Amino acid sequence: MSPLITSILISSLSTGTIITMSSYHWLFAWFGLEMNTLAIIPLISKHHHPRATEAATKYFLTQAAAAATILFASTLNAWTSGQWSILHPTTLPVALMLLIALAMKLGLAPMHSWYPEVLQGITLPTALLMSTWQKFAPLTLLLMMFNELPQNILLTLGLLSAYIGGWAGLNQTQTRKIMAIF
């Protein structure tokens, strides 16, 4: 891949993250998340290898399902309340759908089964990029909604992620899968 294309993809990745992190409107946040997804897929499949293609396909399908859930939940929120604000989800089902979708985008347990497999099929620099930069935007959305979400569900999600990550990492010998678990 030429350096020009790589720099365009990295700047698209940065732009998508900045759009998501600075938006208070669900449609713009969704747009930034999709921009992130579409910018990282060519970086994942840069090396023409069947494992990289499989990783890109798994990543795309998982992220598309999470993005569709975010779009559906935000549309449902706008339908019930008349507003697209990130800060105030109206009903508990909307908040739970958004939490599940953001947990899927972040790779949190129990929606994490795709993450180790994707990281195993890509190069280490791309895995580091996916494990750090790709998490900023969904984590920001989760923190923006923090006061509106049920605290016991967030605590359970965090404890479950720590427990499953620690338990699954005990018998792991591959560095990328250990990065994905923790």
Q: What is the pLDDT of residues 35-82, one digit of tens each?
A: 999 999 999 998 888 889 999 999 999 999 999 999 999 999 899 888
Q: Quick check: 165 pLDDT over 80? A: no
Q: What is the pLDDT of residue 81?
A: 86
SS3 (DSSP) at 128 = helix
Mean pLDDT rounded to a whole number for the chain:
86
Q: How far apart are CA 30 and CA 114, in angstroms?
A: 21
Q: Quick check: 182 pLDDT over 60? A: no
Q: How far apart are CA 49 and CA 126, in angstroms?
A: 14
Q: How far apart are CA 106 and CA 112, in angstroms?
A: 8
Q: How far apart are CA 50 and CA 28, in angstroms?
A: 34
Q: What is the pLDDT of residue 180?
A: 61
Average pLDDT rounded to a whole number, residues 154-175: 77
Q: What is the pTM for the complete model shown?
A: 0.86
Q: Model confidence at 177, in pLDDT bands (50, 70, 90)?
A: low
Q: Quick check: 110 pLDDT over 80? A: no
Q: Quick check: 156 pLDDT over 90? A: no
Q: What is the pLDDT of residue 175?
A: 66
Q: Which long-range contacts (CB under 8 A, 24 or more apart) does 48-56 make?
A: 51/120, 51/121, 52/121, 52/122, 54/121, 55/117, 55/118, 55/119, 55/120, 55/121, 55/122
Q: What is the pLDDT of residue 101?
A: 93
* Residue 51 CA: distances (Å) to CA of 56, 81, 138: 9, 44, 26
Q: Model confidence at 151, in pLDDT bands (50, 70, 90)?
A: confident
Q: What is the pLDDT of residue 90?
A: 73
Whole-number CA gyration radius for the chain: 17
